[in-house]
Structure 1
Amino acid sequence: MKWLDHLEEVLISVLLAAATIVIFVAVVHRYASGLPLGAFQDFLLSIHLSWAQELCIILFVWMAKFGAAYGVRQGIHVGVDVVVNSLSPDNRRITTIIALCAGAFFTALVAVLASIWSGTTAWLTPC
């Protein structure tokens, strides 16, 4: 699975670089469009970069998700497992399964509520 580690590293780097470039361009655009530059100022004002912050947030969220998965796989992710490690192996397995199910439920709940909030609930209605 060495290729998967490298794929995650590249993906995390690309997401971080893309977010940095998007925010840099948006900030330069914001300040340059306020300068008295004649026709170039009119051109800058016609470019709408209101989506840049939202795209940066989305890129950062995906970077954090892939980064956490990579960190767990490498053993460098911070984990709070003192209580779980003090349990017997059978109870540790049951606790881990419950925690994974709770995490999957939480992720599904956030996805459903986000789609309801954004108005894209067509996939929730029965055919």
Structure 2
Amino acid sequence: MSASWKYEPKTKLGRFVHEFEENAIALMLGLMTALTFINVIRRYVFNASLIWSLEVVLVLFAWLVLFGIAYGFKVTAHLGVDAVTNLLSHRGRRIAGLLSAAICLFYAVLLLKGAWDYWAPFAELKPTTGRWFPTGIDWGARGTSYFETDQIPMPGFLKWLEDAINYGETYSKMPRVVPYVILPISALLILVRIVQATLRIIKGEQNSLIVSHEAEDAVEEVAAMNREA
């Protein structure tokens, strides 16, 4: 990555998406913190607990990780080792960046296929066939929309899922299709972000895919503070 490159949304849509992603990450962190804090107070002060809070926190943590991976690709926040590529010429670094981007694109496609195939039966949708790449639709696959979470209550605003995917049968707990939906969403976002990063390499805006220079930037900031002092 070019050390000077920094993500900046250029359009209103880009700014909206960027703000939405940051707010979503902040909301998930806030909900995790609030639920954990409330449950600790209830347990040690009132000798009670929210049975479902631990599972909700686990779901939110999984959402945060998967959603954050795609966000990290966008803002080039992932760490990488560039000790070898820094020895190459500018052209060599660009070629190495394109090669790594191609490998990441290949992996992202596999990840998207696997994520869809895992989630689809929970939504009464059909997974794909093929071990590596989609070769068709598995029309004989059995749906598993009746699978529920262990403790999370069924919210009233999701009752429509009973008619939509569960053939009118009621849910006593939240169906797994809801927490697992982050799998195909995050996999698709990761693929899109890698494509965007690859285009930046092709345009010459950065040399590699996701190398972050946080340590170098921190050292430079400390040095600048010492010079000012």
Interval of TM-score (by shorter of Structure 1 and Structure 2): 0.5 to 0.7
1:77 counterpart residue number: 78
Q: Secondary structure at the match of 1:53?
A: helix
* 66-75 or 78-87: bigger deviation: 78-87
More strand by share: 2
1:58 CA drift (Å): 1.5
1:4 counterpart residue number: 17
Mark the runs of 5 or more structure 2 residues left unpaired by the alignment. 1-13, 127-137, 141-229
1:11 CA drift (Å): 1.0
Mapping of residues 75-114 of structure 1, within 5 Å: 75-80=76-81, 89=94, 92-106=97-111, 108-109=113-114, 112=117
Q: Secondary structure at the match of 1:76?
A: coil
* Contact kept in structure 2, 1:19 and 1:60, CA below 8 Å: yes
Change (3 A) 1:90 1:20: same
* Contact kept in structure 2, 1:12 and 1:67, CA below 8 Å: yes
Letter in 1 for 2:53: A
Cα RMSD, aligned residues only: 3.4
1:115 CA drift (Å): 7.9
Distance between the aligned counterparts of 2:101 and 2:85, measured in 1? 8
* Contact kept in structure 2, 1:84 and 1:95, CA below 8 Å: no
1:25 counterpart residue number: 38
Letter in 2 for 1:76: A
Does residue 51 in structure 1 map to residue 52 in structure 2?
yes
Letter in 2 for 1:50: I
1:7 CA drift (Å): 1.3
Letter in 1 for 2:102: I
Distance between the aligned counterparts of 1:110 and 1:84, measured in 2? 32
Q: Secondary structure at the match of 1:79?
A: coil
Mark the runs of 5 or more structure 1 residues left unpaired by the alignment. 35-43
Change (3 A) 1:84 1:100: farther
Letter in 2 for 1:17: G
Which fold has the larger relative contact order, with Cα–Cα distance below 8 Å and residues 6 or more apart in sequence?
Answer: 2
Change (3 A) 1:114 1:54: farther
Does residue 15 in structure 1 map to residue 28 in structure 2?
yes
Identity across matched positions, percent:
25
The alignment's TM-score, normalised by the length of structure 1, stands at 0.61
1:100 CA drift (Å): 2.0
1:38 counterpart residue number: none
